[in-house]
């Protein structure tokens, strides 16, 4: 086994796929991967007007829940890069509604957006992956605590945690890990909070809010050689919220 070196944190020459890559955590991950040397294929249903394709960047606007569009994206990745070294399943979303008030259609949308599209994307890209590839699933702190008003979303994020463990065993030597962020304000989170007319987010034990770049830092670690013997685990990027049992100051 090669000894670790400072270069082990770099992703030079690797190909990464990031879903939900136009804003928030997905955009931070995409930009960090490029900064650390990777080529990136990113998709999102929102078009980022200030992001353009380049030699090392492929972007497509699509809804990952649409199997036809997602397959077109996978084929574009294959044609441009021929392989996938890193897959970050970041796409997802939610809305605030009590369990009894959530319609069957709304529930299905949450399941499709936060779980079904993720498993489908993994299956599509697996033929392009290899021993040593890394899958990183973005879950949430809600997977580990009660989430009134977000029950189905939280259940799907918990399912992602369970899936991560199972696939880490089944797909080895491909590594499969997860990141559970919280207290990292993003555009999508602010939109949900605005719809709730809720009070500003309380602080985690570290005493401050984080930034999407903090989740990107964890993704850089999990994607590279520094994490070569880590699989089936979840990194909590939440300022200590999980450690505190969900309590905030």
Q: Which DSSP string do the residues of 140-154 spell out, in sequence order?
A: -GGGGS--TT-HHHH
Q: Is 144 a catalytic residue?
A: no
Q: Rounded to whole angstroms, how far apart are CA atoms 154 and 148?
A: 9
Instruction: State the SS3 of 156-189.
Output: HHHHHHHHHHHHHHHCCCCEEEEEEECCCCCHHH
Q: Find the catalytic residue in 97, 153, 179, 180.
A: 153
Between the alpha carbon of residue 84 and those of residues 18, 108, 127, 132, 143, the distances in Å are 11, 29, 9, 10, 28
Residue listed under structure tokens 């918990």 = 158
Nearest-angstrom CA–CA distance, 193 and 174: 37
Cβ-proximal residues to 98 (8 Å cutoff; 6+ apart), any chain: 148, 149
CB atoms within 10 A of CB 192: 17
| Beta-ladder partners of 178 | 137, 234
Peptide bond into 189 cis (omega under 30): no
Question: What amino acid positions are annotated as catalytic residues?
Answer: 153
């Amino acid at each position: 086994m090669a000894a670790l070196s400072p270069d082990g944190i770099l992703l030079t020459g690797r190909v990464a796929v990031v879903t939900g890559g136009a804003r928030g955590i997905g955009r931070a991950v995409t930009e960090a991967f490029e900064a650390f040397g990777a080529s990136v294929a990113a998709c999102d249903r929102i078009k980022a007007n200030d992001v353009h394709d380049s030699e090392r960047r492929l972007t497509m606007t699509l809804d990952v829940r649409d199997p036809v569009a997602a397959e077109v994206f996978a084929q574009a990745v294959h044609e441009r890069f021929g392989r996938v070294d890193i897959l970050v399943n970041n796409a997802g979303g939610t809305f605030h509604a009590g369990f009894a008030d959530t319609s069957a259609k709304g529930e299905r949308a949450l399941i499709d957006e936060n779980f079904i599209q993720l498993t489908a994307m993994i299956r599509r890209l697996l033929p392009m992956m290899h021993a040593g590839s890394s899958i990183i699933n973005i879950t949430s702190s809600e997977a580990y605590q009660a989430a009134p008003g977000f029950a189905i979303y939280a259940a799907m994020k918990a399912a992602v945690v369970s899936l991560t463990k199972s696939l880490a065993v089944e797909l080895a030597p491909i590594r499969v890990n997860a990141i559970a962020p919280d207290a990292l304000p993003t555009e999508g989170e602010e939109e949900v909070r605005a719809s709730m007319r809720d009070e500003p987010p309380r602080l985690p034990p570290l005493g401050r809010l984080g930034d999407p770049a903090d989740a990107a830092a964890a993704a850089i670690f999990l994607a590279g050689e520094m994490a070569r013997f880590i699989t089936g685990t979840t990194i909590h990027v939440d300022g200590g919220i999980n450690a505190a049992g969900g309590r905030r100051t």
